Structure 1
Amino acid sequence: MVAPASAVSSDNEKVPVLIQFKNKPDAQLVKANGGEIKYEYDVVPAIAAELPLKAIDALSKNPNIDLVEPDGIAQITGETIPWGIERVNAPEVHALGFTGNGIKVAIIDTGVDYNHPDLAANYLGGYDYVNDDSSPMDDNGHGTHVAGTVLGIDNDIGVIGVSPDVGFYALKAANSAGYCSWSDVIASINWAVNNDVDVISMSLGGSYSSTLKAACDNAYNSGTVVIASAGNTGDEDDPSVLSPADYDSVIAVAAIESSNSIAYFSSYGPQIELAAPGRYIYSTLPGSSYGSYSGTSMAAPHVTGVVALLLNTDVSGTNLDLDNDGTWDPAEVRARLQSTATDFGTAGKDDYYGYGLVNALAAVSNLDQAPATEEPATEEPATEVPATEEPATETPVTDPVSSMHFSVLTIDPTSTVKANKHVFAYATAKATVVDADGNPVPGATVSGDWSGLVSETVSAVTDATGVATFQSSQLKNPTGDFIFSANGVTLAGYEYNSDDNTCTIPVSDYFSSTAALSSYLQK
């Protein structure tokens, strides 16, 4: 189902921007130009703000400012199942006494259900940048699923994570629909660095941002390992790795199937560093529940967990301690994971697997130090039991009991802002899912594509009214059409029946933004 939208203009709006300074950020300068400051960062000399249109060009020409760029929009990268813990050889590492104890991980996502019985004991705190409060509760499910893969507790219920004793901070940068601004992501990175986390895990991706790159680079240089999912555009015309995974300071993670082949959806390119399980990954979900998702979002937390296990080991006195400081540095961690990865595909590093499948056991082995052996109880994480006894919970996926379909597909007029020379635009689409009786279906995962001005494969979960909301990337000076296609919908216990759809496929009656924007730009 396809719905396009036009870009319309409004004269009195302010532009959400990221302002990079050459030296120390000058908040007074921003305020003097009518700016409303959202964040002032420590991790990068930058300020997130909303600026009046007339101030953009003026500040861009200021000699103390490096650049002014739009505050980009990103989206969590993927959804749909877990067997990956064994594939990365995590249980064998637990048996050696390495479980991530004492390591701190920051999960930047849709928040985490920190009350979940498989996560609560490891929760250290966090922040919600979407709602501006100290309770980063997950209202989407994505972040909770990611957390379970990293650190599901060895407690004889549910699932066990790659590093079941790691402490984690939840930083909510993405909203209930799975969208986030780069300013909120940078604020989360800033918080993580200021709280001395060891690893930052980001299962999200979007368009390039210079300010975000600087934040990731500075976090890495401060001693924090930064990991991100590559993206789910592998079957599209542009399968390239998304930001922030495409930055040199970030470990970009691709997704593999249980057959060890690269998942069809996994983005690829020279930035791919490692591969990890990413299809049909079983993990925690909000409300003390469990479920299966697919995507590079599910692959990245496997690598995050392996990094935590490696950080549990003692590198001092080994030839892996390149700077002889007695601790694992991000560059040393990356070198170790690269050299111990299980090579697949073309021999050596390639664009699909990178250096290969991350291998926890190989990474922690032969480090010339004695691992802890006094906690054999951790051997019982052979609570690989969930992996063998829980598949029953997947049954509803293959044995649907009800049907669902799309009843409405709309796309709101694109919000635009125009300055002397610049127009910023994006579009918001909404797809409504109902059952055979016309009742809304909440919790269903809707997949779709943006085309026209942008090319993105996206997914979102329906809310209590059965509506899934999608927001395109924000563009500067666009001329053309935003077009959204709803491709399908999945939910355990339901079957998608496209024959029951009550909206036109495709929608052929749409507004063009080209004429409107061209008309304005000629003024």
Structure 2
Amino acid sequence: MSDKTMGISRRNVLKIAGGSIAGAGIVGSASANDRVEVNVGFASQRGRQAALDKADETVRDFDSLDIVTAKMPKQAAEGLRNNPNVRYVEENGTVHAHAQTLPWGIDRVDADVAHDNGDTGSGADIAILDTGIQSDHPDLEANLGEGKDFSGKGTWEDGDGHGTHCAGIANAVNNSEGVVGVSTEATLHAGKVLGDDGSGSFSDVAAGIEWAADQGYDVVSLSLGASSGTTALRDAVDYAYENGVLVVSSAGNSGPCNDCVGYPAAYDNAVAVSSTDEDDSLSSFSSTGSEIELAAPGGSVYSTYVGGEYDTLSGTSMSCPHVSGAGAQLMANGATNAEARDTLKNTAEDIGLSSNEQGAGLLDVEAALAGDDGDDGDDGDDGGDGGDAAPAIDTLSVADSSNGGWARFDADWSVSDADGDLSSVELALTQSGSTVDSATTSVSGSSASGSDQLEEKKGSGSYDVTLTVTDSSGNTATRTETVSA
């Protein structure tokens, strides 16, 4: 979830420039020839006629309102203030439209550059599984598709604001008002799996994930979590991923902490996203751990909010839809969920955080869509083909098969590499930092899968099962699952 840090409503869209003559008076050494344009509110026809008599030019004589707008000498305007038939005299200031805001996160991940290059996400479908989405929000309505309530509320409309905020980050319309999203023309679908109090059950979330997968949506965006998971929730995540859905989830707001990624983000088939601030530092609230795959902006993010308004919120909940919008862009261009996941990681920008904090690095939307290497864009010798891609761990599932004499675990895994140069897969069983068993498998090509059994005689307690995949260039990817015997 996220913490509300600042509110900015649409009531603040119009800002008036100019002061009130009635409130401040007209003073100073201005000459009689100095002219002002004023609105004169009159109390009677005598007041109206007095304003017209003083005017050098009548700008507007309202039909129904008791107001005249006129240009006249400043001294004449000051004199009208003393007329008992005049209610007020105020300078006619200037009103400015509030132009569309480019939120810092959209700018930081270069999504605006992708928009300029013609990438909008058109044709992709993003399921926002959250508190719902405001269906008539001016920055979301044009992109809104279907919705379904799983919370028992009876409607998928957002009564909280959290889901609407996440929807805007992922896919707000690129128009002349409000904000713009990472993607701008994908279709948003609202799965209301959280009530208006921001909470829901594991079953509600699992049902929402199942629904999104059965509808054939491309991306599921899960800005929610818990400190522990359930088999039902994991089954739903696996089902969605196996049916072609890119599952993106917020890492959690338990920071500062170590190895504290929440669920469903911690599952193998979910992309876990941590949070950064404007200076590229890790947000103080962000959960961290070996499951982190990407970092994205999450501190003080401005986006759409209920009531047709806009607000600034902070949390890994805000990081998650940045990645969801980017995934939709890639899948709109024909990528599978696995290809999109690999591309997002392979093109991420290293911002100097540890792998437990940033995963592969900070999301870089432009680089992902262009196939760049995600470093600094000026290597000049890779032809824009992304260089030597690192391998990826697609799945790691560990089951406990211990008996009275052995701590025993069965690990099923699958790995892939965009360059097709897989080399080896190593599994290690460790306890308190010491390796008690391991297994190594030689692999090749662009994908591989297998099963290994790791064990310790008369063992008990908590263990880590770590998988490391390596390609022929020495690039690696690592994932750890914690299990108990």
TM-score per shorter chain, which class?
0.5 to 0.7
CA distance in 2 between partners of 1:329 and 1:310 (Å) = 8
Equivalent position of 2:159 in the other structure: 139
Consecutive unaligned residues of structure 2, counting only runs of 5 or more, are 7-102, 373-485
2:412 equivalent in structure 1: none
The correspondence for 2:349, drawn from 342, 351, 356, is 342
Contact 1:233–1:239 under 8 Å retained in 2 = no
2:349–2:360 contact (8 Å) kept in structure 1: yes
Residues 214-363 of structure 1 aligned to structure 2 (within 5 Å) = 214-235=235-256, 240-313=260-333, 327-346=334-353, 350-363=355-368
Other structure's SS at 1:205 match = coil
Amino acid across the alignment from 2:204 = D
Letter aligned with residue 260 of structure 2: S
Name the counterpart of 1:98. Answer: 119
Q: Contact (CA 8 Å) 2:121, 2:332: kept in 1 or not?
A: yes
1:365-412 superposed Cα distances (whole Å, 9 cap, x missing partner): 148xxxxxxxxxxxxxxxxxxxxxxxxxxxxxxxxxxxxxxxxxxxxx
Instruction: String of CA shifts for 1:113-154, please: whole Å, max 9, x gaps.
Output: 111000011111111111263x31011110000001011111
Distance in structure 2 (CA, Å) of the matches to 1:361 and 1:149: 16
State the 1:79 CA deviation. 4.2
Name whichever of 281-290 and 227-236 sits farther off: 227-236
Distance 1:85 1:105 in 2: 17
Structure 2 residue 349 is matched with structure 1 residue 365: no
* 1:180 alignment partner AA: G
Cα deviation, residue 312, structure 1:
2.7
**Greater RCO structure (CA 8 Å; 6+ sep):** 1
Distance across 2 between alignment mates of 1:228 and 1:80: 22
Point out where structure 1 has 5 or more consecutive residues left out of the alignment: 1-75, 314-326, 368-523
How far the C-alpha of 1:80 sits from its partner, in A, is 3.3
| Aligned-pair CA distance for 1:329 | 1.9
Give runs of aligned pairs for residues 105-504 of structure 1, distance below 5 A: 105-131=126-152, 133=154, 135-206=155-226, 207-235=228-256, 240-313=260-333, 327-346=334-353, 350-366=355-371
For the residue of structure 2 that corresponds to 1:248, the secondary structure is: coil
Shift of 1:108: 0.3
- Residue 171 of structure 2 contacts residue 185 of structure 2 at CA under 8 Å; is this kept in 1? yes
Aligned residue identity for 2:252? G
Q: If the length of structure 1 is used for normalisation, what is the TM-score?
A: 0.51
Counterpart of 2:177 in 1: which secondary structure? coil
Could you state the TM-score of these two structures normalised by the residue count of structure 2? 0.55
Q: 3-state DSSP class of the match of 1:335?
A: helix
Kept after mapping to 2: 8 A contact 1:77/1:231: no
1:77: how far off?
Answer: 4.8
1:239 deviates by: 5.7
2:89 equivalent in structure 1: none
Residue 96 of structure 1: CA displacement? Answer: 1.2
Matches of residues 56-75 of structure 1 in structure 2 within 5 Å?
none
Same amino acid, percent of matched pairs: 43
In 1, Cα distance between the equivalents of 2:249 and 2:5? 18
2:424 alignment partner in structure 1? none
Q: After the TM superposition, which residues 9-48 of structure 1 pair with which residues of structure 2 at under 5 Å, given as runs?
A: none
Aligned length: 275
Give every structure 1 segment of 4 or more consecutive aligned residues whose post-TM-superposition deviation is greater than 2 Å: 76-82
